[in-house]
Chains A and B, each alone.
Chain A
Amino acid sequence: MDKKLAVQIDDLTVAYNYKPVLWDIDLEIPEGVLMAIVGPNGAGKSTLIKATLGILKPIAGSVSIYGKPYNKQRSLVAYVPQKGSVDWDFPTTALDVVLMGTYGSLGWIKRPGLKEKKAALEALEKVGMLPFKDRQISQLSGGQQQRIFLARALVQDASIYFMDEPFQGVDATTEIAIINILKELRKAGKTVIVVHHDLQTVPEYFDWVTFLNVKKIATGPVKDIFNDDNLTKTYGINYKVSIQE
């Protein structure tokens, strides 16, 4: 690859209660790919993202973003957590949640102003949620909540997007809407890393894939490495998936 490296992860190891969840992960993600992280439950997919973003403290290892340590490059990175990680009964509106995406660039104390509000409205428009901007977030459907989270990340206007299961529990329409946005991001030269569960759609949605099961099994272009051999290595059983040509 002569492309620039967007993310470089070296020797990353994470453990919960002395049990390793991620073991010695080395991962290089080139700029401009739309990458799926696949693996069975408990493979450490979410943990990989959380450790990369410093939400979890790894036992060992380092992460660099465009060649510099992550905490110097935060403004280049946006994060879409799992929808279930927050309490959607929190007293706030859709627009307010999207505005949180601007908090990072605002820094401490400063409040979002007109400029930030405009950016938030644009992001809501992009995910098709503008009519719901004043809706209390508990009154949104699961798919709509997911779109709100996506809009919040879009507002950050980052170069690299980490998304934890953005397709979880959304209907077909929302899934298509979300993947179209992700493909647009890639077209704009952004790097998108997605924890993904539906193996059938991997070749259709993504151009890069990482197989993970505590250890890294393989990483590379979908067309080269998305095969039965790697799937079996990752999922343990003799996994046959009919790859759409």
Chain B
Amino acid sequence: MDIQEYFSLVFSDYTLRTITLGTAILGAVTGMLGSFAVLRKQSLLGDAISHAALPGIAIAFLITGAKDSNTLLIGALVSGLIGTFWIRGIVNKTHLKSDTALGLILSLFFGFGMLLLTFIQKQPNANQAGLDKYLFGQAATLVESDVWLMAIVTGICLFVLLLFWKEFKILLFDKDYAKTLGFNTKSIDILITSFIVLAIVLGLQTVGVVLMSAMLLAPAAAARQWTNSLSKMVFLAAIFGAFSGVFGTAISASQNNLSTGPVIVIVASVFVIFSFIFSPNRGLLFRQIRFIANRRDLELQKTLAFMYRIAETHENISHPHAIKILNNFQGFTRKTLQKLVDKNYVTLDGTMWSLTEKGFETASNLYNQQAINDE
């Protein structure tokens, strides 16, 4: 199946439609919430949460003996939440910094989860196979009820975001100030963190424990490059996330046996790289272009200012001077001289140059203009 075939089948084929919808919704909700994680400088929180969910999955299986995805996800949710609140506890109660706390909880829970998984695999129960799909995710196992669950959670999440938009925003920007205004910052914090945990747990089946944090961070990091408005950033992150889901699924479905989760993450990373380079204001490419253009302008201005200082000592500003005398000045090149001629600032006559009326005026304004620009 090639990509074209995929897009013609996506509306009719039940499996394809389910998986595509699922990954799109997942991408949208993680992109949205990821914006908040990124802006709070809690990018690694997602990684810690997803790893912390693993023992929950294993324990839920050990208790119920069922592989029903909803049961396992509840286990993941509980252990993800426990991990998150332990991280908060460590940061609040000890002198350890949050990166240390995140690293500790991540490896502790993941290690315990792996231990439980190997324990389960050693058991003489045929039912145990397939739990390891939560490590790297397996989108093909998504069924309609999973997608419904994702859609409902995304809907609730969107509603809560819109309802508490102002509170989330002020918490992200200036938590201490929010406190003095009388907002219970702890509740807002817990609310948003719980949603992040929920979104991550929902994605475990599709993308897996190991790569889940990329779903949270990549769309948000890409979106930040394109806008300076929080609402637009959240919106764009959702769009980028959804498209990563769809394209990732399309590519993995059309190339046989490519695992969906990693492909989605790679597509999201492509969004990030593209945004880093090509976004108009913050992107590397345009920044470099602006830098070069500025440097050229400055060179031109420096030459013009130098000429101005020579010319102003003469009564006639257009009194011709030898090009040679510009040589002691580094900013001068044939090219800049030609550009000044093109702009009608200077006229050339053999080896002599003279400033025009226009050039004189522009040069005398240069200093004033600089003062204005600095303001």
Q: Please report A residues at the B interface, Cβ cutoff 8 Å.
A: 17, 50, 53-55, 71, 74, 77, 79, 81, 85-87, 90-93, 97, 100, 103-104, 106-112, 136, 138, 152
Contact = CB atoms under 8 A, between A and B. Distances in A.
10 contacts: A53-B179, A54-B179, A55-B179, A81-B177, A90-B172, A92-B230, A100-B177, A108-B167, A110-B166, A111-B165
Nearest to B167: A108
A93 B163 CA distance: 21
Contacts of B14: none
A-B pairs, top 7 by smallest CB distance, nearest first, are A104-B181, A136-B228, A79-B180, A74-B182, A55-B176, A53-B180, A91-B228
Nearest to A86: B174
A169 B233 CA distance: 31
B224 A91 contact: yes
B323 interface: no
Contacts of A53: 179-180
Interface string B210-253: 00000000000000100111101100000000000000000000
Nearest to B184: A108
A79 B163 contact: no
A100 B233 CA distance: 19
Interface string B162-178: 01111101101110111
Interface in B183-213: 183
B174 A103 contact: no
B173 A104 contact: no
Interface of B: 39, 41, 95, 163-167, 169-170, 172-174, 176-183, 224, 227-230, 232-233
Contact of A103 (B163, B170, B172, B233): B170
B173 A92 contact: yes
A104 B182 CA distance: 6
A55 B173 CA distance: 15
A136 B233 CA distance: 14
B229 A103 contact: no
Nearest to A107: B182
Contact of A86 (B173, B224, B228): B173
Given A108-B183, A112-B166, 18 more contacts: A53-B179, A53-B180, A74-B180, A79-B180, A85-B174, A86-B173, A91-B228, A91-B232, A97-B173, A100-B169, A100-B170, A100-B177, A103-B166, A104-B180, A104-B181, A108-B164, A109-B166, A136-B228
Given A17-B95, A103-B170, A108-B167, A92 B228 contact: yes
Contacts of B165: 111
Nearest to A82: B176
A90 B183 CA distance: 20
Contacts of B178: 103
Nearest to B234: A91
A91 to B, nearest CB: 5
Contacts of B230: 90-92
Given A104-B181, A111-B166, A93 B176 contact: no
A236 B233 CA distance: 51
Nearest to A88: B173
Nearest to A137: B228
A131 B182 CA distance: 31
Contacts of A79: 176-177, 180
A86 B135 CA distance: 37
A104 B39 CA distance: 22
Given A55-B180, A74-B180, A108-B167, A91 B229 contact: yes
Given A100-B170, A103-B170, A109-B164, A54 B180 contact: yes
Given A103-B166, A108-B167, A109-B164, A92 B176 contact: no
Contacts of B232: 91
Contacts of A112: 166
A100 B228 contact: no
